[in-house]
Amino acid sequence: MSAPPELPDVVSRAFAVSRKAGYASFCRNETGRLLATLAATRGGTMAEFGTGCGVGTAWLRSGVRGDARIITAELDAKLADAAAEIFEDDPQVEVLSADWSTLLDKGPFSLLFLDSGEPTEVSVDSVADLVEAGGIVVLDDFTPCEIWPPITYGRVDTLREQWLTDERFTAVEVMVAPDASAIVATKR
């Protein structure tokens, strides 16, 4: 059995920054590899809402080809500053210390990465117009569910249900690990 693939340098730097900042909530490597793969298929401008210390951004950056750009927004100024350190010499990544709504006028995006977080913030309606036709939305931090409608913590997971049934997108839930899944949605 072989060892898992090495982390890209930019991702290793992001983990180091996260540890230094004492930030333990970040994109899983399995999700990160999915992000890098999808980013490699995109041009134009990609975005992330909720940078944290930049691990998800670093995974996106590791897949970027050509002159595609990434804009990421983090509400917590301390975390945004930490993430900005990783990309200070990278003209293709812009880290903003701001609410995600500051990105509303910077789209449409070819890829949009969102933490499933609060349903009101990442609803299909709140972000659908931010993604170009053929663009991809990735939401992570779901627990796999084998039933319909999807149930999480004893309740219908309305966020997951919205994304998997909205007619503006073709979407699928993808298991990235036995205990984690992500939704990948392509705008029609």
Predicted confidence (pLDDT) per residue in 117-152, tens digit: 654 567 899 889 999 999 999 999 899 998 999 988
pLDDT, tens digit (0-9, with 9 covering 90-100), for 16-69? 998 888 877 678 899 999 999 999 999 999 999 988 889 999 999 999 999 999
Reported residue count of the chain is: 188
- Neighbouring C-alpha atoms within 13 Å toward the C-beta of 15: 11
Q: What pLDDT, on a 0 to 100 scale, did the predictor assign at position 121?
A: 65
Percent of the chain scored above 70 by pLDDT? 94
State the pLDDT confidence band at 153, using cuts at 50, 70 and 90.
Answer: confident
Q: Tokens for 142?
A: 């779901």
Which of helix, strand or coil describes residue 81?
helix
Q: What pLDDT, on a 0 to 100 scale, did the predictor assign at position 59?
A: 96
Residue 92 reports pLDDT greater than 50: yes
Cα-atom radius of gyration of the chain, to the nearest Å? 16
Q: What pLDDT, on a 0 to 100 scale, did the predictor assign at position 178?
A: 94
Q: What pLDDT, on a 0 to 100 scale, did the predictor assign at position 116?
A: 59
Decide if 138 contacts 184 (C-beta within 8 A): yes
Q: Tokens for 187?
A: 């705008």
Domains in the chain (CATH in brackets) are: 9-187 (3.40.50.150)
Q: What is the mean pLDDT of residues 101-128?
A: 82
Residue 2 reports pLDDT greater than 60: no
Type of residue numbered 108: P
pLDDT, tens digit (0-9, with 9 covering 90-100), for 158-182? 999 999 999 999 999 999 999 999 9
Q: What pLDDT, on a 0 to 100 scale, did the predictor assign at position 4?
A: 57
Q: What pLDDT, on a 0 to 100 scale, did the predictor assign at position 65?
A: 93
Q: What pLDDT, on a 0 to 100 scale, did the predictor assign at position 3?
A: 47
